[in-house]
Chain A
Amino acid sequence: MPFAPLVLATDALLWALVAAVAFYAWYCRRKPHLAAPWKRVFQSPAAVITSVVLVCYAAIGLADSLHFRPKLEGGDAYSPEVLSVLDLALAGLRERREKTYSAPLATRLYARETIELPDGKSTREFPRLRHGGAHLADESEALKDILIKGGFGLLAALILSSLIFLSTKPLQKRWADVPWLSAAAAWAAILAISLPTAMLAARYHVLGTDKVGTDVLYQALKSIRVSLVIGTLTTLVLLPLGIALGVMAGYFRGWIDDAIQYLYTTLNSIPGVLLIAACVLMMQVFVDRHPELFDTAAQRADFRLLVLCAVLGLTSWTGLARLLRGEALKLSQLEYIQAAHAFGVSDSRILGRHILPNVAHIVIITLVMDFSGLVLAEAVLSYVGVGVDPATTSFGTMINAARLEMGREPIVWWSLAAAFAFMFLLVLAANLLADAVRDGFDPRVRMGTVPV
């Protein structure tokens, strides 16, 4: 085989999560009462548009979650460098490295260099880039070239978008409630940005290059995976703890309630960043002590990412547990639960059949709401130095590196701008979707007692 597949722990969990979501969607389709709130959610144009955006992010993140090690040339060994399918797709961006900083769409470096002239003298000037715009014989053609390439990209986007708009007609007939036109508009906007970018990226560095000459667009795209992993895998720790402990505290009451309340007050009282920092510092010591556990640097970084998710989950289940405790407390007083008691239904059955389904909406709302907060937290934690592995590309490490570049004269703004744009779009989409989900699932909104 020309490559050896490598399944990182976060890859496996991420794909398992995708499978779980797919199963949930399939299950919902068969149960009208479960599908109803989702139908309400997807009646709102905001939800549809943001889902389109999030699907694009998820696609990039998932393509970046299929890892392998290519075979080294002329040998049986596999490279220690771990690549992903996304790296393959962006091979051009990854390999076309410059010497150092270059501005977006520039043809020359951002720093002067001493260049030997043919006649033996030397001069200091901005040298041409190795790749950015290297196909041009005459640099002054650059603007024209960029406009033509961008124009072609826009044209392609226009054609594709009109096809998408045409295809909404039959969809609208089949599912009349969903605002398909909004979805098509979102796709059109994404195509209008991404296709010209793709056209230009083949010849230029659309978002410039960083200090060591890496393409910033490539970095930004690679950062998406970390955000998705942190935003989603954290829930794998958060959910079981939050649901089990919260519901049990509210349902059983008495000493169980006291014990669980004690547990979450204690955890809550430790400042979050400090608890995370303490856990991550300790994990670092563990990793340093056991180098034999990790074959490649990627696996070590991945372990760190996984532990970060677990730690974030351990520190953030308390909010969900408190909400569920209150709800379970209320539910366990209701007549139908008392009736179940009177019929001799066992506690575990009451919890599973009667309480859990009735708190599911709270769980879903919390999950969606937490996502954006976790993505933002990653950036802050990486700044503090307790986030992802410094070698991993993430929005946090990008901002951290870019912050020092703001002090340069003239300033290097594009790394920060790229991280800002990609992160802002992701978090904004997640926030808007969370609002739509909350409105769709909140029974009070449905009954019209709370204005939206």
Chain B
Amino acid sequence: MLAYIVRRVLYAIPILVGVNLITFLLFFVVNTPDDMARMQLGTKRVTPDAIEKWKADHGYDKPLLWNAKEKTLTKTIFFEKSVKLFAFDFGAAEDGRDIANEIATRMWPSLALAIPVFLVGLALNITFAMFMAFFRATYLDFWGVVLCVAMMSISTLFYIIGGQYIASKVWHLVPISGYDGGFDALKFLALPALIAVIAGIGSGGRWYRTLFLEEMSRDYVRTARAKGLAESVVLFRHVLKNAMIPILTGAVVVIPLLFMGSLLSESFFGIPGLGSYTIDAIQAQDFAVVRSMVFIGSVLYIAGLLLTDLSYTLVDPRIKLE
């Protein structure tokens, strides 16, 4: 087991190197630092001096890959901006603040929103899917699927805008947006969490229903029914257990990514998490922050893949990781 984990972690290194190369290519080779400087400073009336100063301030005044003057690899943009990510040294954002510090503080509001949404959403989706699978090929199932397809055809933006309007502006239940620490956070998080859960029911419910129906067409289910087991026992005792593998495949991989927060909810509801941080960075064209978030996202995704494999051993005794 330990050997397996070590091997997987080692596998992750070339992938992260690849991610770094891609971002490096995107950010520095397709466009030169001069272009970035011009964009940050505004396109009109930019003096060469101003560009040089911007580059020097942000550390973009070095050669890309090989510092010929000092005969070293370290004093280059690639080393300073990309290799240092591996040590989680993200440097400073456009406004001068330390990115790593910012991430550490913004992580908590993101998690406070993402974890309840994930857990409640998963439980609700599976329950709804079990309900449809139990009543399969009846009108309940049919209308359940219709509801799912209709709900997944609505853009998340509409859920958020509509929910915010009804709950905050018409009913005055919760503040429209904002955030506060401690227990006060609850009243700010309740609505975005509820909306995120509702927005996920459509695709989630349908996805799990397909899983359950697939599982129910297997031979062991026929055997269980032939034994005379009640349909509910078949469903809960046998099908649910066996459907755990496909459920885990989809669910566990996103757990680490919960850190990244939700882009839309956070920016609409003014929650100072990593999602709104990312959006702000994209809109302000803060390349340093975008680059750091890309790197963190990849690390978390790889962690998710590893966790998925490990979780299989928990639910399926046949799987041994060697």
State which residues 255-279 of A face B: CB under 8 Å: 262-263, 265-271, 273-275, 277-279
Interface residue A383 (Cβ < 8 Å from any Cβ of B): yes
Closest to B17 in A: A266
B11 to chain A, nearest CB (A): 9
Tell me the complex Cα distance, A248–B291, Å.
32
Majority secondary structure, B binding face = helix
Q: Would A274 and B22 count as touching, CB distance under 8 A?
A: no
Contact pattern, B 284-298, Cβ under 8 Å of A = 1, otherwise 0: 010100110110011
B23 to chain A, nearest CB (A): 7
Given contacts A288-B43, A431-B149, contact A451 B22 (CB under 8 A): no
Interface residue B9 (Cβ < 8 Å from any Cβ of A): no
B214 to chain A, nearest CB (A): 7
Out of B22, B157, B216, B297, name the residue touching A399 (CB < 8 Å): B157
Q: Would B15 and A281 count as touching, CB distance under 8 A?
A: no
Q: Would A384 and B283 count as touching, CB distance under 8 A?
A: yes
Q: Would B290 and A450 count as touching, CB distance under 8 A?
A: no
Out of B30, B38, B282, B291, name the residue touching A385 (CB < 8 Å): B282
Contact pattern, B 254-291, Cβ under 8 Å of A = 1, otherwise 0: 00010010011000000000000011001101010011
Q: Would B149 and A428 count as touching, CB distance under 8 A?
A: yes
Given contacts A289-B35, A372-B153, contact A274 B278 (CB under 8 A): yes
A428 to chain B, nearest CB (A): 4
Out of B18, B136, B149, B161, name the residue touching A266 (CB < 8 Å): B18
Q: Would A270 and B282 count as touching, CB distance under 8 A?
A: no
Given contacts A277-B290, A278-B26, A406-B165, contact A380 B19 (CB under 8 A): no
* A275 neighbours in B (Cβ, 8 Å): 294
Q: Would A271 and B260 count as touching, CB distance under 8 A?
A: yes
Interface residue B235 (Cβ < 8 Å from any Cβ of A): no
Interface centre among B156, B157, B290 (most CB of A within 10 A): B157
Contact count A vs B, C-beta below 8 Å: 134
Stretch at the interface among A37-45, A354-362, A416-424: A416-424
Q: Would B15 and A399 count as touching, CB distance under 8 A?
A: no
* A269 neighbours in B (Cβ, 8 Å): 15, 19, 297-298, 301-302
Closest to B21 in A: A266
Interface residue B245 (Cβ < 8 Å from any Cβ of A): no
Closest 9 CB pairs of A and B: A271-B297, A266-B18, A428-B153, A269-B298, A427-B153, A269-B301, A285-B31, A277-B282, A285-B35
Interface residues of B (CB under 8 A from A): 14-15, 18-19, 22-23, 26-27, 30-31, 35-36, 38-39, 43, 136-137, 149-150, 152-158, 161, 164-165, 169, 213-214, 216-217, 257, 260, 263-264, 278-279, 282-283, 285, 287, 290-291, 293-294, 297-298, 301-302
Interface residues of A (CB under 8 A from B): 262-263, 265-271, 273-275, 277-279, 281-282, 284-286, 288-289, 372, 376, 379-380, 383-386, 395, 399, 402-403, 406, 411, 416, 420, 423-424, 427-428, 431-432, 435, 449-451
New A-B contacts (12) at CB < 8 Å, excluding given A263-B18, A266-B298, A288-B43: A266-B15, A270-B297, A270-B301, A277-B290, A278-B290, A376-B156, A380-B263, A385-B283, A428-B153, A450-B214, A451-B216, A451-B217
